[in-house]
Amino acid sequence: MHSFIHFIMGPMVWISFLIFFIGVIFKSFQVIKLINEREKFIYTYLSLKYSFRSIFAWLTPFLPVSTRKSPVFYSVSYVFHLLLFIVPVFLLSHVALLEESMQWSWFTMNDAVADILTLIVIFSLLFFIIRRIVVPEVNFLTKLSDFGFILIVALPFITGFLAYHQFFAYQWMVVVHVLSGELMIILIPFTRFFHMFMAPFTRAYTGSEFGSIRHAKDW
């Protein structure tokens, strides 16, 4: 048991990140190769100026009309995506672990704050689940895998929260926490989680077509 925990908290973390990076590189090359083989015109129409115009417009809260049509979902989604990075990256115990093993260290947030932010993430995910069930046009599009994605993201946050408070089965919580976190990292390049990398590019291309060819806004 001890050696298993040692493995998943040690080498497995690095293996996960390795798979993640290799996956991202592999998938990116796959897309670039496809562009070069079939759709070279994408380079012709891609415009740096209009790519950034579109990306910034879509990062500005409530600038796009679309986001104003669904203000609650958009707000929850915006906060959720920010916290998805902020919480794990600036969590004291994560940084402490890194410092211990690699002597890397950076700003950390107060544990009480992290606790609240974690709850916000968990409730956001709960909101997404309810929305997928309740809103007809979203429900129509929802597959079982969509709930699966939510669960995969939720697990590390829920188990992290429970482990921190040591409510019960502390050791198991930590094990599930670490494993589910690693699972999420590994899955990113190979599932629709990859939108994390692709979204800026799809936005950029549409922004370029709208901006430089069609002289219109795309938000």
Partner 1 sequence: MQDTVTTNETPESNKKDVIDEGVEKGLARLTPEKISTVINQVLTKETGARFKVYVETCMRCGLCADACSIFLSNDRDPRFSPAGKVKQTILEMIQKKGKVSKQFLKDAVRIAHTECNVCKKCSMYCPFGIDIAYMMTLVRRICHKLEITPLYIQDTVNSHSATMNQMWVKEDEWIDTLQWQEEDAREEFADLRIPLDKDGADIMYSVIAPEPKFQAGLIYQTAVIMHAAGMNWTMPSAPGWDNSNMAMFTGDFEISGRIARAHYETATKLHVKKIVMGECGHAFRSSYDVGNRWVGWAMPPVELIHAIDFFHDLLTSGRIKVKEKYKKTVTLHDPCNISRGRGLHNKAREMVNILCESFVEMTPNREHNYCCGAGGGVINCGPPWKGARIVNNREKSVQLERTGAEVLIAPCHNCHSGLEDIVHHYGLNMEIKFFGDIIFEVMEKTIYQNDN
Near partner 1 by CB under 8 A, which window of 10-18, 24-32, 117-125, 180-188?
24-32
Give yes or no for a contact between 131 and 138, defined as CB atoms under 8 angstroms apart: yes
At residue 135, the 3 state secondary structure works out as: coil
Q: Which of 2, 3, 69, 116 binds partner 1 (CB under 8 A)?
A: 69
Q: Is 143 one of the binding residues for partner 1 (CB under 8 A)? A: yes
Q: How far is the CB of 156 from partner 1 (least distance, A)?
A: 19
Contact 209/192 with Cβ under 8 angstroms?
no
Binding mask 101-140 for partner 1 (x = CB under 8 A): ----------------------------------xxxxxx
- Would you count residue 147 as binding partner 1 (CB under 8 A)? no
DSSP string, 162-210: HHHHT-S-HHHHHHHHHHHHHHHHHHGGGSGGGHHHHHHHHHHHHHHII
Residue 70 in the binding site for partner 1 (CB under 8 A): yes
Closest Cα to residue 72, out of 127, 140, 139? 127
Total residues in contact with partner 1, by rule CB under 8 A:
51
- 184: its two tokens: 């999420």
**Which H or E run includes 216?**
none
Which one, 42 or 120, has the nearer CB to partner 1? Answer: 42
Beta bridge partners of 91: 109
Nearest to 124 by CA among 170, 73, 86: 73
44 vs 93, beta carbon nearer partner 1: 44
x/- mask, partner 1, residues 169-208, rule CB under 8 A, reads -----------------------x-xx--xx-xxx-xxx-
CA-based max dimension of the chain: 62
Q: Considering the rule CB under 8 A, would residue 24 count as an interface residue with partner 1? A: no
Structure tokens at 100: 């211990």
What residues line the site for partner 1 (CB under 8 A)? 30-32, 34-35, 37-39, 41-42, 44-45, 54, 58, 64-67, 69-70, 73, 77, 135-143, 146, 192, 194-195, 198-199, 201-203, 205-207, 210, 213-219
